[in-house]
């Protein structure tokens, strides 16, 4: 059954994912969202760390999706 996973992500100086730490997993969106917001509000993260929530069928898929490199969207002139 798919779940919501909350991770602490540490990035390298190049922006690539350097480390993933699973903080908790939830069945309900609202509980996961509130948990992630509370962790962000606590602070204590350095510039290369962030808290992210992701929906996936299991922990392996969640980590794979968090590690995948995404292309930056092309900004149009009117979007700048």
Tens of pLDDT, residue by residue over 21-79, are 999 999 999 999 999 999 999 988 888 999 999 999 999 999 999 998 877 777 777 76
> According to the model, what pLDDT value does residue 80 have?
64
Q: Is 60 helix (H, G, I), strand (E, B) or coil?
A: helix
- Give residue 2's pLDDT band: very low, low, confident or very high (50, 70, 90): confident
What predicted TM-score, i.e. pTM, was given to this entire model?
Answer: 0.81
Phi/psi at 58 (5° precision): -155, 175
Distance from C-alpha of 33 to C-alpha of 12, rounded to nearest angstrom: 26
């Amino acid at each position: 059954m798919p779940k919501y996973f909350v991770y602490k992500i540490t990035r390298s100086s190049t922006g690539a994912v350097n480390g993933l730490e699973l903080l908790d997993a939830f069945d309900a969106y609202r509980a996961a969202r509130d948990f992630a917001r509370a962790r962000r509000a606590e602070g204590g993260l350095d510039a290369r760390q962030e808290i992210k929530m992701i929906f996936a069928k299991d922990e392996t898929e969640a980590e794979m999706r968090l590690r995948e490199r995404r292309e930056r969207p092309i900004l149009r002139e009117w979007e700048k």
